[in-house]
Structure 1
Amino acid sequence: MAQPPEEWGLTLVRPTAYEYASSTIAPTGNRRALLRWYIQKREGYPVARLKICAASGCEEFALPGQSHCEQHEAERQNKLKVRRAKAQTSEAAIAARVLYADPRWKAARIAYLRQHPLCVDCGELGVIEPATDVDHIIPHKGDRKLFWDRSNWQSLCHSCHSRKTAREVFHG
């Protein structure tokens, strides 16, 4: 059984069948929930701080505030870093950087935001949020004609634009 870090000052012992059966409030069927409940009962330690790593088959405790142990969190961060680097080095990303650096784009973007000052996505939800980004509805992927097609533009707030862009880049 995995042990919590020494600085937490806890030692885990498997509860006996009697201890399982002696409580009417102990969770049943979920090993993780039962372990957390048992530790809280025995040590008076907050349950939220003792999560088991979300990686399949891992029995280590997750880092505080994280869902993975130290090893699996490092692996997750490395995978994310590789994915982000790959997205930035594609031909489309390089072509897009050139287009977005054009002074004509910067002027056209400001003019479009003046004409369309509210986020389209938030507006569909009934929320009034100022737009900060001009989004291409159909990703242009470096195509100049699609890039400059104003019927392909929409105003979005930064969080809506980030969510849409991440979905397009990482999920096709």
Structure 2
Amino acid sequence: MADQIAAASQALALVPSTAFSGNDMAAEFALLKSKLASIESTQDRLTSEFSALKEQFTELNTDKGPAIEELEKKLEALKKVVELELTSIYHSQQRLPARLNNSRCTVLNTPLKAPVGADGKPPPNFPATRGEFEHITKERYESILKAYGLPIKGDTDAKREAVRLYVGIPQDGL
């Protein structure tokens, strides 16, 4: 289609262009008439070529060959990835206020806010204060990590640090 548009542009460029002099109206009218005829014939040719292309695309859309089915599968897979990414972005934005609140928790009795997990809900048994967070059990850290879909690796200190980073609690300040 790009080749056809380029060919049409070249055909139009070949039509001589002159400015109106006002002296010979009949000659200028004849020149305009020939230019118009050239443009109309080019439009007719482009219309017929466009119709042929349209017909070819229509045939492709109705032909359910293996390539089309494969393409549809890939499109569905990409659609699911985009939906998951949008959900992830949505939940990330929902976590921001809680993380901002938690970033100011530098005293042990400061209340914490639980960011939402992958399911859109805060994890059960999330610690209420900074002091409680610092002293919960390894199993509780693991359940929080699991609720957020984070890897559960390392000793208690590593798990505490992973949760601390994810929920926005500062390390210093105690």
Calculate the TM-score normalised by the size of structure 1. Answer: 0.24
Query: Which has a greater percent of helix?
Result: 2
Query: Which has a greater percent of strand?
Result: 1
Whose relative contact order is higher, 1 or 2, with alpha carbons under 8 Å and at least 6 apart?
2
From the CA coordinates, give the structure whose radius of gyration is larger.
2
